């Protein structure tokens, strides 16, 4: 017989948790989540375990009783256990021996909780701990809190925490970590001050988690206070504290403080440097990030990931993809976030070939594709103009979230397939995913591109009436764009006047563009005035309004405006199109006829003349 020995050290690959948990499920006790129900019907003695065949397979046995010992049935005595001859075979025959863990070993409940793989098991053990009274042991309660935190059940964790009379530092640490992870960093900080009030001594874990909470809410002053406390306590920060500290400063935008902390630490700390790279990248100090990365003697996957993500977010897509290729070449295991960033870089730069290469690479790796990664693949194809490929990937995904639906709907919207967008929205709702505000931006964009004014109005009103989504400036932007393009300028103006928030440049810009299209000088000038107030340095709007004036034959005012653009040296940004040819990305501006391969591309796309590209 092939037994797995379960010991208190049963973590790790050599002791897979499955056999113990299977055994666990078959305990003679019926499964129930209800503590009261269990306490009425069962005693603490029920852990005696015999499986359905009447055999004694390896498993947990014994009682969870106040002496908190565990029995194991196994062919030989596991390390760290004392053999108890009860039930042991006479001359240590290979059949069965029953051992009891020495009392110095890890408490049973802790061992059991470590074996739990899902919430059901944890709940069941929770009930048993309550029934047996073992929950009163702080160690057990603490580990139970940790188990709930590990599977994201912060409410359960909190309710256990509140029953503990004098929680120890471990319990505080665990719950602080859980609250921060659960996006309640403020509560974490409250509990930290409670810990101090109770005269408990924070340890390295405490500092790490509290720093993380500060980092999450960009609480620099609290973070600095903590920094001072750590130094005052004479604690030697370990690498976790160190990197959390840097992270805190980085997230709060204090790159220089982060730099100083980085310099203070003598040991090589990859985690800290990774945080620093992210910090530089967030501040747009791309070269500093690169320098740090280049100087690192050891890099982990997160170091590479920070570079790829940073470049992508700075819009340096080519650089991002170069680093990504280097990462592959250096045989660094590629994690998911890196792939997501690299795909994003492909999508934003139109690098279809590389995007497809990454898609193939992902398929080759054979891991099953997560919702996030699948979504990124779809988005890449959609942005590179291959919505059909994206749709294939979409259809092949067994699980989708609201972002997945958003990506595909947005993709079809920008490809002008409004009908497909509406159909997908219906599908999404019928499959049980609630649309959010981003979905409606995509839907309204689709209406706008297809000139479907009435449908746009319908969806705009349904948004709040059916789905309880308050229209944001972005939605108003879509609607103003939709109405203005269709020449319904008065309606557009009316809609703007109903806005609660201040209209932004997108809103006025859309109105101005519509006015130019439909030659409405009065409203156009009004929109223009609002625009100049909001962004006095953009020449683009001047150009648009001067065209409007030219259309109306107001030559004199046109000249005046043109002079103003020149005199004030207003910047004129240009919309760019990106085309990948043989792995090389080419940028095109509107009416760009100076590109060295213009003729080729001109003929391929049958552009009907310069200026109309």
Partner DNA sequence: CTAGGGTTAG
Contact yes or no for 169/206 (Cβ under 8 A): yes
Residue with Cβ nearer DNA (87 or 333): 333
170 binds DNA (CB under 7 A): yes
Measured in whole angstroms, the distance separating CA 327 from the mean position of its chain's CA atoms is 22
Residue-level length of the chain? 613
Give me the long-range contacts of 159-168 (CB less than 8 A, separation at least 24).
160/126, 160/135, 163/135, 164/138, 166/138, 166/198, 167/138, 167/141, 167/142, 168/138, 168/142, 168/200
Minimum distance from residue 231 beta carbon to DNA (Å) = 16
What is the C-alpha to C-alpha distance for residues 613 and 609, in angstroms, rounded to an integer?
A: 7
Query: Of 431, 430, 409, which Cα lies nearest the Cα of 418?
Result: 409
What is the C-alpha to C-alpha distance for residues 379 and 388, in angstroms, rounded to an integer?
A: 11
Query: Of 366, 364, 312, 365, which Cα lies nearest the Cα of 337?
Result: 312
104 binds DNA (CB under 7 A): yes
238 binds DNA (CB under 7 A): yes
139 binds DNA (CB under 7 A): yes
Minimum distance from residue 528 beta carbon to DNA (Å) = 30
208 binds DNA (CB under 7 A): yes
Record the tokens describing residue 613, joined without a space.
Answer: 């590209």
CA dihedral (446, 447, 448, 449) in degrees, to 10, reads 50
Record the tokens describing residue 606, joined without a space.
Answer: 């049958």
Count of beta carbons in the 10 Å neighbourhood of residue 295: 8
- With CB under 7 A as the contact rule, the residue among 335, 474, 504, 538 that binds DNA is 335
Give the binding range for DNA (CB under 7 A) out of 52-60, 389-397, 437-445, 446-454: 437-445
Contact yes or no for 343/355 (Cβ under 8 A): yes
- With CB under 7 A as the contact rule, the residue among 32, 204, 318, 505 that binds DNA is 204
Minimum distance from residue 423 beta carbon to DNA (Å) = 17
Residue with Cβ nearer DNA (439 or 513): 439
Start-end of H helices in 366-504: 371-383, 387-396, 402-414, 418-430, 437-450, 453-467, 473-485, 489-497
Residue with Cβ nearer DNA (94 or 133): 133
Give the binding range for DNA (CB under 7 A) out of 14-22, 318-326, 333-341, 474-482: 333-341
Question: What residues contact residue 1 under an 8 Å CB cut-off, 6+ apart?
Answer: 75
Binding residues for DNA, rule CB under 7 A, total: 62
Residue with Cβ nearer DNA (336 or 554): 336
Residue with Cβ nearer DNA (63 or 269): 269
Record the tokens describing residue 145, joined without a space.
Answer: 């809190």
Minimum distance from residue 588 beta carbon to DNA (Å) = 21
- With CB under 7 A as the contact rule, the residue among 124, 127, 274, 417 that binds DNA is 274
Give the binding range for DNA (CB under 7 A) out of 239-247, 454-462, 468-476, 539-547: 239-247
168 binds DNA (CB under 7 A): yes
241 binds DNA (CB under 7 A): yes
What is the C-alpha to C-alpha distance for residues 486 and 478, in angstroms, rounded to an integer?
A: 12
- With CB under 7 A as the contact rule, the residue among 99, 106, 352, 544 that binds DNA is 106
385 binds DNA (CB under 7 A): no
142 binds DNA (CB under 7 A): yes
Strand, helix or coil at 124? helix
What is the pattern of x (binds DNA, CB under 7 A) and - over residues 145-164? -x---x--------------
Minimum distance from residue 600 beta carbon to DNA (Å) = 29
Cβ-based burial of 517 (10 A; exposed 0-12, middle 13-18, buried ≥19): middle
- With CB under 7 A as the contact rule, the residue among 253, 288, 301, 505 that binds DNA is 301
Give the binding range for DNA (CB under 7 A) out of 89-97, 165-173, 184-192, 221-229: 165-173
Give the binding range for DNA (CB under 7 A) out of 100-108, 218-226, 389-397, 540-548: 100-108
Count of beta carbons in the 10 Å neighbourhood of residue 147: 26
Residue with Cβ nearer DNA (123 or 177): 177
Minimum distance from residue 412 beta carbon to DNA (Å) = 11
73 strand-pairing partners? 59, 98
78 binds DNA (CB under 7 A): no
- With CB under 7 A as the contact rule, the residue among 438, 510, 512, 527 that binds DNA is 438
What is the pattern of x (binds DNA, CB under 7 A) and - over residues 387-426? ---------------xx-xxx--x----------------
Alpha carbon separation from 326 to 191, 270, 329, 349, 458 (Å, rounded):
45, 19, 5, 19, 50
Minimum distance from residue 58 beta carbon to DNA (Å) = 22
Measured in whole angstroms, the distance separating CA 337 from the mean position of its chain's CA atoms is 9
505 binds DNA (CB under 7 A): no
484 binds DNA (CB under 7 A): no
Query: Of 217, 267, 292, 206, which Cα lies nearest the Cα of 247?
Result: 217
Question: What residues contact residue 105 under an 8 Å CB cut-off, 6+ apart?
Answer: 8, 80, 81, 111
Give me the long-range contacts of 316-325 (CB less than 8 A, separation at least 24).
316/286, 317/345, 317/346, 317/348, 317/349, 317/351, 318/349, 318/585, 319/286, 320/345, 321/345, 321/346, 321/349, 321/351, 321/354
110 binds DNA (CB under 7 A): yes
321 binds DNA (CB under 7 A): no
Minimum distance from residue 64 beta carbon to DNA (Å) = 16
Q: Which residues bind DNA (CB under 7 A)?
A: 104-106, 110, 114, 139, 142-143, 146, 150, 168-170, 173-174, 177, 181, 203-205, 208, 212, 238, 240-241, 243-244, 247, 271, 274-275, 278, 300-302, 305-306, 309, 312-313, 335-337, 340-341, 344, 347-348, 372, 375-376, 379, 402-403, 405-407, 410, 436, 438-439, 442
């Amino acid at each position: 017989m092939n037994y797995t020995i379960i010991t208190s050290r049963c973590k790790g690959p050599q002791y897979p948790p499955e056999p113990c948990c299977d055994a666990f499920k078959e305990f003679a006790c019926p499964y129930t989540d209800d503590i009261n129900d269990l306490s009425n019907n069962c005693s603490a003695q029920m852990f005696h375990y015999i499986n359905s065949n009447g055999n004694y397979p390896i498993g947990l046995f014994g009682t969870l009783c106040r002496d908190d010992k565990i029995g194991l049935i196994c062919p030989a005595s596991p390390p760290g256990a004392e053999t108890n001859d009860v039930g042991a075979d006479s001359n240590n025959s290979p059949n069965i021996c029953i051992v009891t863990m020495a009392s110095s070993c890890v408490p049973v409940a802790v061992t059991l909780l470590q074996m739990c793989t899902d919430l059901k098991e944890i709940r069941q053990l929770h009930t048993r701990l309550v029934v047996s009274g073992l929950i009163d042991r702080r160690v057990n309660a603490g580990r139970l809190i940790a188990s709930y935190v590990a599977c994201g059940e912060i409410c359960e964790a909190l309710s256990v925490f509140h029953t503990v009379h004098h929680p120890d530092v471990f319990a505080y640490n665990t719950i602080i970590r859980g609250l921060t992870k659960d996006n309640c960093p403020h509560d974490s900080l409250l509990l930290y001050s409670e810990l101090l009030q109770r005269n408990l001594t924070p340890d390295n874990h405490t500092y790490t988690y509290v720093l993380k909470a500060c980092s999450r809410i960009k609480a620099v002053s609290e973070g600095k206070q903590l920094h001072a406390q750590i130094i005052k306590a004479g604690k030697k920060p370990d690498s976790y504290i160190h990197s959390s500290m840097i992270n805190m400063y980085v997230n709060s935008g204090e790159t220089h403080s982060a730099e100083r902390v980085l310099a203070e630490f003598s040991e090589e700390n990859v985690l800290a440097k990774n945080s620093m790279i992210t910090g530089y990248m967030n501040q747009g100090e791309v070269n500093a990030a690169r320098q740090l990365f280049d100087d690192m003697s050891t890099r982990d996957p997160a170091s590479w990931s920070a570079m790829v993500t940073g470049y992508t977010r700075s819009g340096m897509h080519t650089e991002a993809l170069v680093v990504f290729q280097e990462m592959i070449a250096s045989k660094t295991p590629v994690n998911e976030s890196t792939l997501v960033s690299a795909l994003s870089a492909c999508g934003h730069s139109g690098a279809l070939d590389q995007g497809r290469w990454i898609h193939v690479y992902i398929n080759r790796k054979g891991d099953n594709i997560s919702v996030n990664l699948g979504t990124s693949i779809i988005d890449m194809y959609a942005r590179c103009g291959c919505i059909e490929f994206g749709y294939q990937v979409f259809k092949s995904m067994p699980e989708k979230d609201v972002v997945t639906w958003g990506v595909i709907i947005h993709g079809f919207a920008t490809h002008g397939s409004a009908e497909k967008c509406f159909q997908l929205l219906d599908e999404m709702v019928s499959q049980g995913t609630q649309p959010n505000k981003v979905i409606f931006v995509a839907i309204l964009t689709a209406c706008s591109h297809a000139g479907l004014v009435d449908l746009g109005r319908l969806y705009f009103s349904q948004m709040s009436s059916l789905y309880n989504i308050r229209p944001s400036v972005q939605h108003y932007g879509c609607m103003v764009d939709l109405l203005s393009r269709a020449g319904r300028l008065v309606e557009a103006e009316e809609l703007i006047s109903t806005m609660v928030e201040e209209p932004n440049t997108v809103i006025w810009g859309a109105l101005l563009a519509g006015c130019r299209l439909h030659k409405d000088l009065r409203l156009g000038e009004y929109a223009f005035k609002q625009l100049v107030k909001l962004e006095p340095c953009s020449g683009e709007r001047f150009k648009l309004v001067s065209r409007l004036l030219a259309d109306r034959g107001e030559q004199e005012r046109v000249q005046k405006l043109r002079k103003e653009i020149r005199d004030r040296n207003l910047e004129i940004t240009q919309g760019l199109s990106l085309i990948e040819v043989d792995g090389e990305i080419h940028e095109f501006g509107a009416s760009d006829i100076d590109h060295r391969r213009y003729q080729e591309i001109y003929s391929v796309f049958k552009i009907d003349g310069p200026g109309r590209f």
